[in-house]
Chain A
Amino acid sequence: MGEVHIGLPGPWAENCREKADHYTTKIGGLPDWPIPEPNIKRELLYCRVCDGRLCLVAQVYAPILSTKLNIEERAIYIFGCPNQDCGKNPDSWRAIRLQKGDQDSEPNLALSNTLPSEKESFPMDGASNWLKDTLLMNDSGKLNDGSVGDKKLDDLARAFSEASALSSCSKKQNRKKRNNSSTRARVGRTTAEETPVPVLPCFYIYFQTNQAHGSIDAVSSFYSSLTLKEDVYPATDTDEEEKWVGETYEYDKALGADTTYLKFKKQMDTYPEQCLRYSYGGIPLLATSNSIEPDKCIHCGSPLVYELQLFSPILYFLQQAANASVACSADGWSWITLIVYTCSRVCTSYLNS
């Protein structure tokens, strides 16, 4: 298991439609595809429920650097539907993984010719392939190369209209996506900017490694409302009847929150602003105890491994920044965390020209 990287919010983008490269990790804005946008299948970018255009929620640069596997050019894009009704439906979420394979079995000349000029930092050779994979997002979602993705939203705030307690909802979302497109027209044009796509307010993410767990207890000292003099203890009981007997260890419990959620909140409080948590092969931070185990990869059948998860401070920051000039806003969403799983074998399926 690797160490955990916490993604904290950095500066806002000056213009939410400004371009970065695919090495940038950011929330909102336009996706920075390393390949020209017409290469990407249309149905990937459109909502399966309402067929509206999806907007980019998060773009994460996620290389895999280990002794066995070395994929430097790898990025994960998470899309959501800004439509008010679709936000509650797990089918409207989508995650796409793009990576560059080392072997160039199918040199795709069209791809190489159409590298957009703005991506000068793109180090690919002319004959390399970009592999596009749709990611399945589950609560334990896997990212696959390939067509089907499961996505499960750990959404504790789904029951808005009901006056009952919030319940977590986990639905599998299967998405079929075909990587191979033989009818892709290769035109040497830049990424499509002509049609106005919905765009969320954009800010960048910087990463910090999670500190040692010993400091978690010190976090509660951050709260200024919890000032308490250290030496104020209740008066010693002199009465014989007031001996507090029979007490044993008790797990944390509150009226509205159970133990799992309180542990989740304790982790969140170490970095209250954390938006992203990256830990390839690590353990997801769950907010409810009834989570669904991830299925296997649709394409290769290998087990899915946890890669990253998004947290609801993203929604808070996006809603704070929402104004009329932005095409869409995050108001319809109310999840606590979004967990993304990827294929452990990092299977790929090549784009055929």
Chain B
Amino acid sequence: MAERGAGDRGGFGRGFGRGRGDRGRGDRGRGGRRGGRRDEEEKWVPVTKLGRLVKEGKITSLEQIYLHSLPVKEHQIVDTLLGGRLKDEVMKIMPVQKQTRAGQRTRFKAFVVVGDSDGHVGLGVKCAKEVATAIRGAIILAKLSVVPVRRGFWGNKIGKPHTVPCKVTGKCGSVTVRLVPAPRGAGIVAARVPKKVLQFAGIEDVYTSSRGSTKTLGNFVKATFDCLMKTYGFLTPDLWLETRFSKSPFQEYTDLLAKPTKTILIENTERIEA
């Protein structure tokens, strides 16, 4: 198999230095003449199609992404759409060890929860050799896992929703967590660790009940997160109305780009819970 020897740089250097190639290291002002922006902060070059749509501003809220169950593969998407409302907090950094022939290898595992206290929450877990790397990686993973949280009422439907809409239960490992609607003013009745996740989700009042080995707090917090993911998966009578399906953003904007002169009527049938 032919391999590139030491002279391969010369090969590229030739293409680089000959003809039009020698302007390779010229100005990197990309798109300056074509209308693209190149601020120093906006160095995000989207890799996925969804990222490109978000960067252009064609998608304005996370709810459009959730409505069509599109996977979010770039954390900058969540950053752009939720912006400064998203807060993050490190719940725990713990060392995990692996036994090797040369002793023990210690890595750090970071648990980070992000949320805007208004219906969006994400949980990220990352192992890395250094603490700072683990924290940064966990923040990115948490942003990739942001989910919507449905809130409802305990009794009278007055004011804004403050509690979970129904009893939901989530499980991870041996830990099961059950969230029960609570009246206003009850507060979050939970252990310290899942209470943080529920605060970040924007739930104000809830009763919780847990079962299993809650000492494994990693599983405990993941069970709570799983529970919050299920709130929008629960069919309640007010969702009985048949859905009118709208076009996925990909399809909508593919048509838009194909015929730039035609105006597209965008039908928005997403139901945002009050």
Contacts and interface: CB of A to CB of B under 8 A. Distances in A.
Interface stretch (A46-54, A109-117, A144-152, A157-165): A157-165
A330 to B, nearest CB: 10
Contacts of B46: 312, 316
B36 A25 contact: no
A88 to B, nearest CB: 10
B5 to A, nearest CB: 4
Nearest to B137: A220
Interface stretch (A130-138, A191-199, A201-209): A201-209
Nearest to A311: B47
B127 A20 contact: no
A105 interface: no
Interface residues of A, number: 100
Interface in A203-230: 203-207, 209, 217, 220-226, 228, 230
Contacts of B257: 329, 331
Interface string B9-21: 1111011101111
Given A207-B16, A255-B144, A313 B47 contact: yes
B135 interface: yes
A321 B90 CA distance: 41
Contacts of B258: 84, 331-332
A63 interface: yes
A280 B3 contact: yes
B10 A65 contact: yes
Contacts of A265: 47, 73-74
Contacts of A241: 191, 214-215
Q: Chain A: interface secondary structure? A: loop
Contacts of B44: 272
A250 B125 contact: yes
Nearest to B14: A23
Interface string B117-134: 000000011111010110
A5 interface: yes
Contact of B250 (A160, A207, A225): A160
Nearest to B23: A11
B223 to A, nearest CB: 14
A23 B185 CA distance: 73
Contacts of B10: 65
A166 to B, nearest CB: 6
A21 B45 CA distance: 29
B195 to A, nearest CB: 12
A344 B229 CA distance: 50
21 contacts: A9-B30, A12-B31, A24-B18, A24-B21, A156-B48, A157-B50, A161-B250, A204-B23, A226-B139, A230-B132, A234-B93, A239-B192, A241-B215, A242-B193, A247-B96, A247-B109, A254-B141, A265-B47, A268-B47, A316-B55, A336-B47
Interface of B: 1-5, 7-12, 14-16, 18-21, 23-31, 33-36, 41, 43-50, 52, 55, 68-74, 79, 88-94, 96, 98, 107, 109, 124-128, 130, 132-133, 135-137, 139-141, 144-145, 147, 191-193, 213-219, 248, 250-251, 254, 257-258
